Structure 1
Amino acid sequence: MAITTTDPMLGRLVDGRYEIVARVARGGMATVYRATDRRLDREVAIKVMHPHLADGVDGAAFVSRFRREARAAARLTHPGVVAVYDQGVDGDTSYLAMEYVPGTNLRRELHASGPLTLDRALDVVAQVLAALAAAHRKGLVHRDVKPENVLVVGDGDPAAGGRVKVADFGLARAVTEVTTTATGTVLGTVAYLAPEVITSSTCDARTDVYAVGVLAYELVTGTLPYAGETPIQVAFHHVHEDLPAPSGLVDWLPAEIDALVASFAARDPQQRPPDAGAALGAVEALRASLDADLLARRADPPAVAARPGPSGPGGVDAADGDGDADGDDGGEGGTDAVDEIPTAFFQEVSASAPAQLTDALVEQPTEAYRRPSRRRRAVAWILTLVLVLGGGGLGTWWWFADGPGAWTSVPTGVAGVAADDARAVLEGAGLGTTTSRAFDDEVPEGSVVTSVPAPGDRVRTDGSVELVVSRGVQMLTVPDDLVGADRKDATAALEDAGFTVGDPARSYDDEADRGEVLDVSVEESSRQRHDTVVTLTVSDGPAPVQVPQEVGKEKDAAVADLEGLGLAVELADPEYSEDVPRGHVLAQEPRDGATAHRTDTVTLTISQGPPLVEVPNVVGKHTEPARKALEKAGFKVEENTYLGGLLDTVRFQDTTGKAPKGSTVTLTVW
């Protein structure tokens, strides 16, 4: 009879805020749920860490690191990054609240569709690198780049060109630090781990670039480089072998794709692009150089689909969690399948004799081999290696004295010379050569920057030396459409292209909004050195001006004054005034002394002079009453007297009807 187990988190209200609706997926480190944020009324993804990570002596350390890394990830804002909204601890539940992304993840798309077209593969790689570049600029390293942590937005096929988002920034670091301290093991999806993580647990931005190189291999071929082997074997390959060329599986792939993957997944971190921004420039340049027909091609699915799982190189398939996935297909899809590899084992493999290998095996923590089948395979594999290397005293002496195991030193004189000359020196010493290319600011193009191993270092007599040949100074393309863009957008475009943006220059401008880019110190679309510091000239908007006093001035003179300062003038309806002459400024807004900006508007009110009032009719009245009536109405009075004013009677008045108050009325009296 089947037994159904109900997830106790379903329906739970986490931290009094997040109502768990459905389970999306379960992985090695966490379970992801779809939830409703009751406070903001929005759909979110809740990642709940497995309780055992916070147990024991190191539990407090994990919770502290978990909070710190979540805060760091929350500061990262980029359209290609799954946003972290909140983190907290509710009882024994440590959780992250993140953006919910409807859709699926890249692992499931690969399972469903097989290899991507070359164009889509490069597009996905470019989007992932753009997101990582934003993180690297803030000093954040993802540490667990893999298809499970690349979400495909919506329900579209990646071949259709959908957007992708990168999830789980900072989470791998929090878990890795506490687990490494407690058990002496390395956590991570081993198929994508860089050699330095396996051998020394160190990582930086170049570690993410290595993982993207493996991801690129998988997208164009449909399989991982070492598919179907145990995690121990896969890790051994990463440490001791160069990643195989994708064209070994897909023969029509151009050499440029092989070179790109080899550059990203170089075993020596120094030979990789220094960060995702530099790697993005390489991808964009390569994509632009390939013709459309080639970009549209897609590799045939591999005969046996490689899939990280219990028997594959990636451990538990994170897309399917620990074998189950519930709810929506996707969401915040990146869960956390990991393989645990004892760090000390690889240090022993790279530097120890057969007897020491046996000791290294015995001393490893047993929890690093949790699955009995994996442990048996690892033991059998290592014992076989011990028997081969320790086959007999005479054979061992021959191997290291005269056989393939004998050692010599890399000759000097291979750095700083032409590649053909360096190759001749090495071949004269009986050593094989391989070539990789890297940008260098000092060494001319075509000359050797260095060798791996370096001159003077030891190498087997039948070994090969890699010559790192200079590609010259790395040149980057300045983006278009910077002038007229907002400063933040222009800065982001330049940084994504790999440039450093200096402090902006400021300039007033009557037409450009504040923050708009007026000029760029380098020509748009031009090619510039990678270390060029680009300066943006940014508008501070119209310049400030002080409004002058215009009240009392004649209208035309006042308008000329204001327009000369770059201010616009608007005339209000005129008003009567007994104090300000007609045609002069009666009032202004803003008042004098106020601070305005060029192109601002000053409103002027122009005087119409005194108001019109009714003139009293005083004809026929005696002089004195007539005068008083006119003066009471606000007029001035003048008299013209004839015949000595014999009858003292007003015979005529020169103004009747309405007249400006304060004007003069002349009376004729006799």
Structure 2
Amino acid sequence: MKKEPQQLTMSEAPHAPEGQVIEGRYRVVSRIADGGMATVYQAVDERLGRTVAIKIMHTQLAQGPHRDQFVERFHREARSAAAIANPHIVQVYDTGEFDGLDYLVMEYVHGVNLRYEMNQQGTFSVRETLRIIGETLDGLASAHRAGVVHRDIKPENILLNDRGHVQITDFGLAKTVSQATLSSTGILLGTAAYLAPEMIERNQATPQGDLYSVGIMAWEMLAGKVPFTSNNPVTLVFKHVHEDVPSIVTVCEGINANVAAFIAHLTARAVEARPADASAALAELQRLQSILAVSDWQYQLPAANVNISPNTTQAEDAAAPMNEGNPAPPTPPAPPTQQFDDRTRKLDRVKPNMTTVMPVQQQNVDPEATTRFSLPLDGDVNTADGSTRPQSPAMQNGDYGNAGKDESSKRHRTPLIVAGVAAFLLTCGAGGWAWWCYQGPGSYWTMPQPDGMSCSDSVACPITGVKWSDYESLLKVSDIEYEVSEKYSDSITEGDIISTDPANVGDRGSKRRGQKVKVVVSKGVRQATVPADILDATSASGKDPINALKKAGFDNVEQTTASDDTYSMEVPQGALLSLSVDPGATLPHNTTITVTVSQGPKPVTMPNIVGKTKDEAQQTMDDLKLTANWTESFDDKIPQGQVISTSVSSGNTLHWGDSVDVVVSKGPETITLPNYVGQKASDAKAALEKLGFTVKVSSQLTLNASQDKKVASQDPVGGTEVRIRDENGTPTTITLKMYSSLF
């Protein structure tokens, strides 16, 4: 009877024999490698019939006090890799948990890691180096576009498949850019030989930090060693912070200058001096490749010129852990074969030693937001509780605050340091302990002098205008605690120190009272934003623009002098006619902003237009931007077409756009006189008087009695155009003669 595969419990995972099955799906074939957090196995996904790699967390981590943080790292690796689609990124297929241990199911890569190739080859040609770096940048470009920073780029995490192409693995330290700090559960993770300065100094993980690590990796591939080496990882990381990466030309004489410049750009100490992200770096590399000659591509430093130990590399020494427990001793390298599971057993030797863990000064901290940490230096002294603390500047260097001396000077001062410690012990043992610890040098610390600052013994030397990131490192090395606040400054560059308390180099602070240095760091010139609606005369900002600008934070607002150009019929008084900056713009608060404020419609004096023709009056009103409302009326004195009167008397004050009623003469009123002859005289008289005339009646004798009382004649005669009134307003007289009988 065929024996069914045994179901593997996760607690047994680190010792899983071949043939066991996880979760009824993943059959373990063989162990690939042991790492600091997990063991990686080759397995077969029996559901899909494909080979996979399974990373299973170590039991001691799953049962340790920081289980949650390590589990989160597992989950973060799954999320980060799943968010990126790129052939140069190892894909994560599945994740799960069983019996308290987490695991990841990943793409199985046939090949080796870059560290193995480095150990085999010693050095690489420019062609090989730029190809591998280019594919690494291509993978990172996808990560950066997805908002993910890897944070642990090193040769051990660069896999080379059996076709020689790059596949980046281990996103366990990766984070989104918005969350990226470097600390975790009170420790600082990373690989000392490849850490970017800002990661060491400020716990700031950025896309440019990944580029720095890529640059160091390229440097090592070409030179056969990393640019900074030290037996102490702490000394090594401080070299990254305080020293520029030397040009690759210093080792690879004759290499193309543009290749050297590209690597220098990636490894610049300042974040802002590097490319913005991997996409920008890849574009720069592609431009570089287009101009290289054949001889430039073929350049390779002979491996014989590189002094490398046969069993390890300088990078491995530099990356030795300081506080990672007791990893298994490295195993001898296996001979290379064509299969990943055999060749990458090399990881058994390399992987456990590649993550540097730096103890944080304060343990009760947010595990993802630590901003302060102390690093043990060469010659750290033990405290009463058995822990270590960095020596004071005096014990390190023989003076106060000069932390940047070279290694040779430190070696020369070693006897003095030892003597000083011995003297301290003798003093305390002899009864001088009270003086030393309560009044003497043991009771205080001294403000160190910043690098590059010159001070005179006779004049106080205030600490101001110094780059805070540099001075912070000096305070950490000097074991001086500090508190930081930020303040805007018009004169101190952003990131530089405005002031400290104590204020001067050499000032002292009390250790017994736990005094901390209070540092005020410049936020640069305070910025302010112009209200976006400031040109809208109907908005609150637009109605009172000067106060709106002042409330927004601008304190250098200048108003143009009132002139004809500041009057407006369209823009209300107090609103803006013009602004020297764009609405919505964010500018330094002391930017000079020039505004032209509307005075509204301009005041004008009503002109005297009575007696002028309508055309003349219209031109006069237009010149003063006044509106005339025209009407016409008969006038016995004013000729037709001339202005009779206005609704506003001349000399009164008006404003542009005001309306004035203007009456224009139609001339004297006239009428065509009707013919009243033969009509009754009384009717004719009444009709003429109704028209406004004065009527004079006289008699004309007649022998015909039937014509009596009828109009015989009129003067003026009917049909004549007659004025109703004369120029004095007196009605015109019409004379009627009527018949009067003799009998």
TM-score, length-scaled by structure 2: 0.46
User: Who is 2:320 aligned against?
Assistant: 315
Matches within 5 A, 1:470-509: none
Q: In structure 2, what is the Cα distance between the partners aligned to 1:309 and 1:90?
A: 39
Letter in 1 for 2:317: G
User: Who is 1:269 aligned against?
Assistant: 271
Q: Are the structure 2 counterparts of residues 292 and 451 from structure 1 closer, same or farther at C-alpha, using a change threshold of 3 Å?
A: farther
Q: In structure 2, what is the Cα distance between the partners aligned to 1:248 and 1:181?
A: 37
1:289 aligned counterpart, secondary structure: coil
Q: Which runs of 4 or more aligned residues in structure 1 lie more than 4 Å from their structure 2 counterparts after TM superposition?
A: 171-174, 176-179, 306-311, 331-336, 350-354, 356-367, 378-384, 388-394, 396-400, 406-411, 450-458
Q: After superposition, what is the alpha-carbon deviation per residue over 1:246-269, rounded to whole angstroms, capped at 9, x for unaligned? A: 111111123323322222122221
Shift of 1:168: 1.3
1:21 aligned counterpart, secondary structure: strand
Q: Are the structure 2 counterparts of residues 35 and 407 from structure 1 closer, same or farther at C-alpha, using a change threshold of 3 Å?
A: farther
1:127 aligned counterpart, secondary structure: helix
Shift of 1:321: 7.8
**Contact 1:80 1:165 survives alignment (8 Å):** yes
1:218 aligned counterpart, secondary structure: helix
Q: Are the structure 2 counterparts of residues 364 and 274 from structure 1 closer, same or farther at C-alpha, using a change threshold of 3 Å?
A: farther
Q: Are the structure 2 counterparts of residues 115 and 134 from structure 1 closer, same or farther at C-alpha, using a change threshold of 3 Å?
A: same
- Residue 401 of structure 2 is aligned to residue 401 of structure 1: no
Shift of 1:178: 12
Matches within 5 A, 1:230-629: 230-301=232-303, 302-305=305-308, 307-308=312-313, 312-315=317-320, 323-324=330-331, 327-330=341-344, 335=351, 337-344=354-361, 385-387=396-398, 389=400, 401-402=455-456
2:255 aligned counterpart, secondary structure: coil
User: Who is 1:486 aligned against?
Assistant: none
**Contact 1:128 1:165 survives alignment (8 Å):** yes
**Contact 1:101 1:331 survives alignment (8 Å):** no
Shift of 1:310: 9.7
Q: Are the structure 2 counterparts of residues 231 and 365 from structure 1 closer, same or farther at C-alpha, using a change threshold of 3 Å?
A: farther
Shift of 1:228: 4.4
Q: Are the structure 2 counterparts of residues 341 and 60 from structure 1 closer, same or farther at C-alpha, using a change threshold of 3 Å?
A: closer
User: Who is 1:10 aligned against?
Assistant: 17
Match of 1:209 among 208, 211, 226: 211
**Contact 2:151 2:205 survives alignment (8 Å):** yes
Q: In structure 2, what is the Cα distance between the partners aligned to 1:309 and 1:31?
A: 25
Q: After superposition, what is the alpha-carbon deviation per residue over 1:566-597, rounded to whole angstroms, capped at 9, x for unaligned? A: xxxxxxxxxxxxxxxxxxxxxxxxxxxxxxxx
**Contact 1:28 1:322 survives alignment (8 Å):** no
Letter in 2 for 1:280: L
1:96 aligned counterpart, secondary structure: strand
Matches within 5 A, 1:20-31: 20-31=28-39
Q: In structure 2, what is the Cα distance between the partners aligned to 1:304 and 1:77?
A: 40
Letter in 2 for 1:330: T
2:300 aligned counterpart, secondary structure: coil
- Residue 90 of structure 2 is aligned to residue 100 of structure 1: no
Shift of 1:335: 4.6
Q: After superposition, what is the alpha-carbon deviation per residue over 1:147-191, rounded to whole angstroms, capped at 9, x for unaligned? A: 11111111x6xxxxx3111111244559x9999443x22111111
Match of 2:170 among 152, 158, 168: 168
Q: After superposition, what is the alpha-carbon deviation per residue over 1:501-553, rounded to whole angstroms, capped at 9, x for unaligned? A: xxxxxxxxxxxxxxxxxxxxxxxxxxxxxxxxxxxxxxxxxxxxxxxxxxxxx
Higher Rg:
2
Q: After superposition, what is the alpha-carbon deviation per residue over 1:287-340, rounded to whole angstroms, capped at 9, x for unaligned? A: 22221112111112243227457971112699x985147852138969563011
1:98 aligned counterpart, secondary structure: strand
Q: In structure 1, what is the Cα distance between the partners aligned to 2:255 and 2:173?
A: 35
Q: In structure 1, what is the Cα distance between the partners aligned to 2:120 and 2:346?
A: 19
Percent of residue pairs bearing the same amino acid type: 32
Letter in 1 for 2:85: T
1:242 aligned counterpart, secondary structure: coil
Q: In structure 2, what is the Cα distance between the partners aligned to 1:364 and 1:45?
A: 47
User: Who is 2:126 aligned against?
Assistant: 118
Q: In structure 1, what is the Cα distance between the partners aligned to 2:107 and 2:373?
A: 48
Q: Are the structure 2 counterparts of residues 116 and 388 from structure 1 closer, same or farther at C-alpha, using a change threshold of 3 Å?
A: farther
Letter in 2 for 1:37: D
Q: Are the structure 2 counterparts of residues 456 and 388 from structure 1 closer, same or farther at C-alpha, using a change threshold of 3 Å?
A: closer
- Residue 64 of structure 2 is aligned to residue 50 of structure 1: no
Shift of 1:216: 1.1
**Contact 1:199 1:344 survives alignment (8 Å):** no
**Contact 1:180 1:187 survives alignment (8 Å):** yes
Moved more, 28-37 or 53-62: 53-62
Q: In structure 2, what is the Cα distance between the partners aligned to 1:82 and 1:149?
A: 10
1:145 aligned counterpart, secondary structure: coil
What residue ranges of structure 2 are gaps of 5+ in the alignment?
Answer: 1-11, 335-340, 363-370, 402-415, 421-440, 467-491, 506-743
Q: In structure 2, what is the Cα distance between the partners aligned to 1:225 and 1:303?
A: 12
**Contact 2:88 2:167 survives alignment (8 Å):** yes
Q: Are the structure 2 counterparts of residues 281 and 452 from structure 1 closer, same or farther at C-alpha, using a change threshold of 3 Å?
A: farther
Shift of 1:384: 6.6
Matches within 5 A, 1:624-663: none
Letter in 2 for 1:312: D
Letter in 1 for 2:244: D
User: Who is 1:188 aligned against?
Assistant: 190
Letter in 1 for 2:355: V
Q: After superposition, what is the alpha-carbon deviation per residue over 1:465-510, rounded to whole angstroms, capped at 9, x for unaligned? A: xxxxxxxxxxxxxxxxxxxxxxxxxxxxxxxxxxxxxxxxxxxxxx
Q: After superposition, what is the alpha-carbon deviation per residue over 1:627-649, rounded to whole angstroms, capped at 9, x for unaligned? A: xxxxxxxxxxxxxxxxxxxxxxx
Q: Are the structure 2 counterparts of residues 357 and 117 from structure 1 closer, same or farther at C-alpha, using a change threshold of 3 Å?
A: closer
1:340 aligned counterpart, secondary structure: strand
1:40 aligned counterpart, secondary structure: coil
1:104 aligned counterpart, secondary structure: strand
- Residue 117 of structure 2 is aligned to residue 109 of structure 1: yes
Letter in 2 for 1:199: E
Q: Are the structure 2 counterparts of residues 265 and 177 from structure 1 closer, same or farther at C-alpha, using a change threshold of 3 Å?
A: closer
Letter in 2 for 1:95: Y
**Contact 1:141 1:170 survives alignment (8 Å):** no
Moved more, 384-393 or 272-281: 384-393
TM-score, length-scaled by structure 1: 0.50
Shift of 1:456: 9.6
2:90 aligned counterpart, secondary structure: coil
Shift of 1:379: 7.2
Q: Are the structure 2 counterparts of residues 122 and 76 from structure 1 closer, same or farther at C-alpha, using a change threshold of 3 Å?
A: same
Q: In structure 1, what is the Cα distance between the partners aligned to 2:181 and 2:496?
A: 35
User: Who is 1:34 aligned against?
Assistant: 42
**Contact 1:24 1:34 survives alignment (8 Å):** yes
Aligned residues: 394
Q: Are the structure 2 counterparts of residues 77 and 332 from structure 1 closer, same or farther at C-alpha, using a change threshold of 3 Å?
A: farther
Q: Are the structure 2 counterparts of residues 113 and 316 from structure 1 closer, same or farther at C-alpha, using a change threshold of 3 Å?
A: farther
1:78 aligned counterpart, secondary structure: coil
User: Who is 2:224 aligned against?
Assistant: 222
Q: In structure 2, what is the Cα distance between the partners aligned to 1:238 and 1:131?
A: 25
**Contact 1:190 1:235 survives alignment (8 Å):** yes
Q: Are the structure 2 counterparts of residues 384 and 339 from structure 1 closer, same or farther at C-alpha, using a change threshold of 3 Å?
A: farther
Letter in 1 for 2:84: L
2:220 aligned counterpart, secondary structure: helix
Q: Are the structure 2 counterparts of residues 389 and 108 from structure 1 closer, same or farther at C-alpha, using a change threshold of 3 Å?
A: farther
